Amino acid sequence: MNIYDEMKAREMVEQTTNEERIRKLLGGEKVSFYIGYDATADSLHVGHFVQLSIMRMLQKASHHPIVLIGGGTTKVGDPTGKTDMRALMDNEEIDYNVERFRVQIAKFLDIDENKTTFVNNDDWLSKLNYIDFIREYGVHFSINRMLTAEAFKTRMERGLSFFELNYMIMQSYDFLHLFRNNNCLMQLGGNDQWSNIISGVDLIRRMEKKEAYGMTFKLLTTRDGVKMGKTAGGAVWLDREKTSPYEFYQYWRNIADSSVTDCMKLLTEISLEEIAEIDKFDGEQLNREKERLAFMLTSLIHSEADATEAQQTSRALFKGNTVGEGMPATELLSSDINELDILAILVKCGLTSSRGEGRRLVEQGGISIDENKIDDIGFMIDKDFIGDGIIIRKGKKVFHRLTVV
């Protein structure tokens, strides 16, 4: 099957600039393509997962991924999807994040230099003379057209700075630079990047009188359109120090039944024929497939040993056995424990984001300690109660160990 046809069958593709030509390129030639990642954090998260999977998929089909890590564009910050301007980051923090991204992305790809190219756009953006840059490239961008882009429209009421307006021009120049220097014919990205991608395609057409191509992919969402990759404790990160392998496993183990086959299509190499059969499952059969999905993804991001430990811990907990070293845990200093109520404990453990959320959970019977349901929002906990450790359960499937040191 043409790799483009497979991506379509897996419902990955959202928009293309020239579908017929892209299909032909991906079906018959070795094509260099790029995906960009701004280094705004020290770890990638589940929201990046689809693009990482697509890079891997295209590389296995003999195409050449160029991984652009935006050390330069991070200094401005993409306004897409943001209600306020991003906080400005210093160079040292950005450089650290760039290296962390390289390590994580390398798990997905064959990083032989002949098979993958890593670039940092700070290498060329930081050397540009602003006046020369705007004279040569800025003249090709219409402010009126830019302001119709979704990335900017959502910011007009709150205010959009001229600083941020440069982001689209910089990303478009990235594509032009890679077109000229790396024979890069395609830019890929999440569907929220469509405006930036087509601006790069247009700049290449204007400057080089040649055609380049853009394609966007489905964002990882539930069937109700809600973005996946968030928990009560925040984003699901690929860094084990931010989201433990157990938490990562549990996230996928606990996804909605309706999301299982969608995630298999987007994130795994399970055949479409097999996925079609799985789509008919329910109950215990579907739960086994959730375990399989969680194991596969945890093995990919962390290791098979981590996935095995997480799976064993999860199974033990589901059977009522509170043994398991892999579960997420919080350690509190004994000096910090002077009879905290259950609502404060839930916030400190990251199980809820606020006391109000904790209150609702307790009142709805959603909190247990060592299998004993807590129904009093004023329930007090001290270091003697915690002893050698307690296990807090939120709902049916979220477990957390609390100890005092």
Indicate which residue of 23, 140, 230, 355 is catalytic. Answer: 230
- Asked if 97 contacts 39 with a C-beta cutoff of 8 angstroms, the reply is yes
Indicate which residue of 45, 64, 75, 265 is catalytic. Answer: 45
Tell me if residue 192 is catalytic. yes
Indicate which residue of 23, 95, 117, 192 is catalytic. Answer: 192
> What DSSP string runs through 201-220?
HHHHHHHHS---EEEEE---
d(CA 292, CA 307): 10
Nearest residue to 362 via CA among 377, 379, 350: 377
- Asked if 369 contacts 375 with a C-beta cutoff of 8 angstroms, the reply is no
Tell me if residue 231 is catalytic. yes
Listed as own residue / partner, the contacts of 318-323 with beta carbons closer than 8 Å and 24 or more positions apart are 318/397, 320/371, 322/370, 322/371, 322/391, 322/399
Q: Is 41 exposed, middle or buried (0-12, 13-18, 19+ CB in 10 A)?
A: middle
Indicate which residue of 17, 38, 48, 177 is catalytic. Answer: 48
Tell me if residue 171 is catalytic. yes
Indicate which residue of 16, 104, 171, 193 is catalytic. Answer: 171
Classified as helix, coil or strand, 195 is helix
Indicate which residue of 227, 360, 373, 396 is catalytic. Answer: 227
- Asked if 105 contacts 36 with a C-beta cutoff of 8 angstroms, the reply is no
d(CA 177, CA 54): 22
Indicate which residue of 40, 117, 268, 403 is catalytic. Answer: 40
Quote the crossing angle between the two packed helices 245-253 and 283-301, to the nearest 10°: 150
d(CA 149, CA 140): 16
Contacts of 106 (CB under 8 A, 6+ apart): none
Nearest residue to 393 via CA among 295, 289, 321, 311: 321
Indicate which residue of 231, 268, 308, 403 is catalytic. Answer: 231
Indicate which residue of 8, 23, 86, 240 is catalytic. Answer: 86
> What DSSP string runs through 304-363?
HHHHHHHHHHHHHHHTT----TTS-EEEE-GGG-S-EEHHHHHHHTTS-SSHHHHHHHHH
Tell me if residue 253 is catalytic. no
In which residue are the tokens 């109520």 written?
341
- Angle, CA 175 vertex, CA 236 and CA 15 arms, to 5°: 65
- Give me the residues paired with residue 199 across strands: none
Which residues are designated catalytic?
Answer: 40, 45, 48, 82, 86, 171, 192, 227, 230-231
